[in-house]
Amino acid sequence: MSNVEKEAGPQGEESPVSPTPPDAKKKREYKDFGHDEQKPTHANVDMSLIELKAEDLYDKEKVDLETIVVEDVFKLLQCDENGLFTDEANRRLDIFGPNKLEQEEQNALLQFLSFMWNPLSWVMEGAALVAIALSNGGGSPPDWQDFVGIILLLIINSTIGFYEERNAGNAVKALMDSLAPKAKVKRNGQWQEIESANLVPGDMISFKIGDIVPADCRLTEAINVSIDQAALTGESLPQSKKEGDQCFSGSTCKQGEAEGVVISTGANTFFGRAASLVGQDDDTTGHLQKILAQIGSFCLVSIGIFVVAEIFVLYAGFRYSYRDGLDNILVLLIGGIPIAMPTVLSVTLAVGAQQLAKHKAIVTRITAIEELAGVTILCSDKTGTLTTNKLTIDKETIRTYGPFSADDVILLAAYASRTENQDAIDSSVVSALGDTSRARAGIKLLDFKPFNPVDKRTEITYREESSGKIKRVTKGMTGIIIELCTRNKTEELENTLEADVEEFASRGLRALAVAYEEVDGDDPEAEGNGFELIGLLAIFDPPREDTKQTIDDALALGVKVKMVTGDQLAIAKETGRRLGLGDHMYPAKVLKDGPAPGGKHMTLDEMILDADGFAGVFPEHKYEIVKRLQGLGHLCAMTGDGANDAPALSRANVGIAVEGATDAARGAADIVLTEPGLSTIVHAIRGSRIIFQRMRNYSIYACAVTIRIVVCFAILAFAFRFNFPPFMVLIIALLNDGTIMTLSVDRVLPSMAPDSWDLAEIFSYAIAYGLFLTASTVALVAIILRTSFFSDKFSVEVPTTNQLHMIVYLQVAIISQALIFVTRSHGFFFMERPSVALMGAFCIAQLVSSIIAAYADWGFTKIHSISGGWIGIVWVWNIVWFIPLDWIKFAMKATIIKKMRERHSRAVAAAAAGTGLQITRTQSRAASIHESMYSNRVSFIRRAARKVGFGSKITVKPEELQRFSSIQAQRTGATLARNPSRTGA
């Protein structure tokens, strides 16, 4: 049996109630909802053969220190209750290592350089090299403006990305910080306080109320101990611990005091195993990074094809001079590179982060916004996320057995509860009164017995002020209370009670019995007239008020919600029923055992996909569930609040830490909610889909402009030996980028289904638009050069070569920018109103372009101003060519795009028929060739580390290297914070 399964223990059972054979006449066992006791076992190895080293002690096949009897623990660890001597502790510290979580070292220089290693940066770097190489030809100086601008952009982007990366919250560090920094340990026979990092297996430790357990241990002494391990296991109730029980490192002692022997430290603790899963991700690149890599590769290949073609045609065919040929190549590189792509997308995401912040959602990884738009499954922790993590009396299910009403039972139970230093159950009972002062109103306290693990009940003796009578009330575990009862106890009552307890247990409700008696005379220690069972209270962790509506909204947006909780199966099912999630849930053990033979599920993946949730899970299980769902092609979000959720939050495409989450959860999450409940997630999903649409619109536009520039100027060079000045392409790119920045606040409608990047569609649209716009320019140049049409019809002068350059510049600048109105709309461009910012930026850019055309006379770039007649001709020409763009879009949808979608649907249906899985795979995740670019990036950096002598000490996490970042995103975020009105456009 694996370690995980042994830990899951009773949580993996289908039902907390074991049926009693009807013919068995024996003492009744009222099985209150809670943990079954796991009987300790003996080590089944020859202890003389076990060496004191980590390989043996943590090998679960040999021995399980968590379950064997404590006597065997001492034998295996070669220690006793007097603790270790300092020399021996130091020796063991060398063997087992420190009791802390190690962080991976990263070399700052390599981490900085890694931000310059991706397809888009490669093309930018290539353009810079071409610009500087011009100094070798034609006797002219190099294009320092282009070279310096590109290099500065690369360095600034890398600097900001490096700064963000180095200062990002580290989940492992947060997990370390939650460990106890000090520990009380017995060394050399004396109790002393040491750094918890110096604890070793075999140490004797002690802790009391309020302390954090410093290492995994087995208790050797426990006095009324209650441990809160909700942040580790997800259990909503503090767990009572007795001698021999295990306590987890990082859990908090809520009551009592204890001593124990340390059985595991550091990464081998339950806490450490959770930490080791954080950041362990086979998917070493983020989703948006893969998309950018593919789009960048598309542009790279397009540019490369025509650059090679120009080299052959211009140099070999036309015998161009070295400088003229490089000028033409530079036109393709500067015009074809979507230099602004990381900038525009980062600005768009920064704006989105600002908008989400208004809904109390803090984005810690900006690219998570894009991934949230495509999320198809939301896995949610239960305790503290779907529920309040505050025990409550379920007043609707109170059972009464005596002459008292339900309100009377609650009041009497409140009498038998502490009003100060309460545990969770006492607090829930007193809170049920509404007015907590009633718990002591009208009575005089004579004696109170608090809960303890032996008696498992509380008891109060009080004098009723109105009558002067002494009365006694007790509450506690059902089996204990009914045994105390002697008055009015009948077979029928016991049968009814047993049925009620079983019903509560099957619904995940914890039963709390209440009994009452009166005492004759004035002696509070005298025996009463016998306890009588008067009621049964149900305790549960209620759902948050807005959770059900949030789940309904998520389902309406096409996002399936699954509950993944460390609590027990019956509790999970009851919570699922109350929230409308469904109760089709499984215990954690199915993740190891797989579906039952003969069941409706053939594979574990099919079961996970179909389930409404899983119960009794540990961090390893949550991580595995998320990983398997991702393997099925789903983008998966995970919400949680505890350290036990951190690994899954880290693994998920979008990790969401809810309000009140631990530092570990916040450190591993991509989005942190600062408002209670999950309603913010729905706002975030809608907001992310708006942002996704903006990015998709820009991606189509950017790819189309790449095709348009590269193909257009290559054809002009081939057909007319037309040598366009590179500087004017740079002007076009700058004006385009300035306009396109406003897409970050454009008006778009979110989709009602999860979004996904269909790059085949994007590239198809881009090629169609790009070739059409290429035709518009080539046709204009052909008419001007081959005919006198414009001179004859409009009485304009025949343009010189420099004036023709200006005409081409104006035509390309105007219609290229106008294309955005087509790519941003699903119907006719005039049916979807753009934002004021976009429209204003477009008008300003066109005005600037027209002014340049009318007045610029820059000989160094080989352009000359043109007359107003030619400017008018260009505008009319572009309007005529712009109108059919919508019809091209509709034609593409009706033909190529339709066929592509049908083929994809058939492929999905075939896959579903073969596997039985009814799923829609996210198309963009099959990107092996593009992922390999990032893999090569990582291996390149590591090889560089060895080459330059950094040695093997340097390790660079792949997932830490691939985060896209830009200075524009940071500056835009700051600007928007200072000028929030800009986002209203």
What is the separation, in whole angstroms, between the first and last Cα of the chain? 61
pLDDT in tens, 900-926: 888 877 876 776 555 444 333 333 322
Please indicate whether residue 381 is annotated as part of the active site.
Answer: yes
For the chain, what percent of residues have pLDDT higher than 90? 26
Residue spans in the chain of domains classed CATH 1.20.1110.10:
290-350+686-897
| Nearest CA among 201, 202, 200, 182 for reference residue 192 | 182
Residue spans in the chain of domains classed CATH 2.70.150.10:
54-101+183-277
Q: What is the pLDDT of residue 810?
A: 96
What sign has the CA pseudo-torsion 558, 563, 569, 574? Answer: negative
Residue spans in the chain of domains classed CATH 3.40.50.1000:
363-388+544-674
User: Any idea which of 117-131, 777-791, 799-813 has the lowest mean pLDDT?
Assistant: 117-131
User: Any idea which of 108-112, 638-642, 835-839 has the lowest mean pLDDT?
Assistant: 108-112
3-class SS at 242?
coil
Q: What is the pLDDT of residue 452?
A: 75
3-class SS at 182?
strand
User: Any idea which of 475-484, 557-566, 918-927 has the lowest mean pLDDT?
Assistant: 918-927
Put simply, whether the predicted model's pTM sits higher than 0.75 gets the answer no
**pLDDT greater than 60 at residue 929:** no
The H-assigned helical ranges of 234-286 are 270-277
| Separation in Å, CA 669 to CA 665, 752, 888 | 6, 25, 43
- CATH classification for the domain delimited by 54-101+183-277, as one of 2.70.150.10, 3.40.50.2300, 3.30.70.60, 3.40.190.10: 2.70.150.10
Annotated active-site residue in 203, 381, 423, 612 = 381
pLDDT in tens, 752-765: 888 888 888 999 99
Q: How many CA atoms lie within 13 A of 632 on its CB side?
A: 25
- Fold for 363-388+544-674, please state it: Rossmann fold (3.40.50)
Per the DSSP assignment, residues forming a β-bridge with 68 are 41
Give percent helix, percent strand, percent coil of the chain, each to the nearest 5.
55, 15, 35
For residues 158-174, give the mean pLDDT.
Answer: 49
Q: Which amino acid is at 960?
A: E
CA 860 to chain centre: 53
For residues 715-743, give the mean pLDDT.
Answer: 85
**pLDDT greater than 90 at residue 728:** no
pLDDT in tens, 359-383: 777 777 777 888 888 899 999 888 7
User: Crossing angle of helices 679-720/801-823, nearest 10°?
Assistant: 150
pLDDT in tens, 321-335: 877 788 888 888 878
Q: What is the dihedral of CA 613, 617, 620, 625, to 10 degrees?
A: -10
Looking at every residue in the chain, the average pLDDT score rounds to 78
**pLDDT greater than 50 at residue 628:** yes
pLDDT band at 211; cut points 50, 70, 90: confident
Spatial separation of the C-alpha atoms in residues 443 and 441, rounded to whole Å: 6
**pLDDT greater than 70 at residue 826:** yes
**pLDDT greater than 90 at residue 510:** no
Better pLDDT: 42 or 769: 769
pLDDT in tens, 392-448: 898 888 999 988 899 999 999 999 998 877 777 888 899 888 888 888 888 999 999
Spatial separation of the C-alpha atoms in residues 511 and 501, rounded to whole Å: 6
**pLDDT greater than 50 at residue 190:** yes
Per the DSSP assignment, residues forming a β-bridge with 326 are none
Q: What is the pLDDT of residue 277?
A: 60
- The CB density around residue 495, as the number of other CB atoms within 10 Å, is 11
Spatial separation of the C-alpha atoms in residues 665 and 714, rounded to whole Å: 53
pLDDT in tens, 265-307: 887 887 777 666 655 443 334 556 677 778 878 888 898 899 9
**pLDDT greater than 90 at residue 238:** no
Q: Provide CB contacts within 8 A for 20, sequence distance 6+.
A: 28, 29
250: left (phi > 0), else alpha (psi -120 to 50), else beta?
left
For residues 59-85, give the mean pLDDT.
Answer: 80
Q: In the β-sheet with 560-564, what is the strand arrangement from edge to edge? A: 361-363, 671-673, 654-657, 636-640, 377-380, 560-564, 613-615, 585-587
| Nearest CA among 142, 152, 146 for reference residue 127 | 146
Residue with token string 């939050």: 649
**pLDDT greater than 60 at residue 984:** no
Residue with token string 């999950």: 678
What are the DSSP calls for 27-88, one per residue? ------SSPPPPPPB---S-GGG--SSHHHHT-TTT--TTTB-HHHHHHHHT--TT-B-HHH
pLDDT in tens, 333-356: 878 877 667 667 766 777 777 777
Q: What is the pLDDT of residue 919?
A: 39
Better pLDDT: 840 or 362: 840
Better pLDDT: 979 or 573: 573
- CATH classification for the domain delimited by 290-350+686-897, as one of 1.20.1260.10, 1.20.1110.10, 1.10.630.10, 2.60.40.1120: 1.20.1110.10
Spatial separation of the C-alpha atoms in residues 787 and 267, rounded to whole Å: 80
**pLDDT greater than 70 at residue 112:** yes
CATH code, residues 392-540: 3.40.1110.10
For residues 107-127, give the mean pLDDT.
Answer: 71
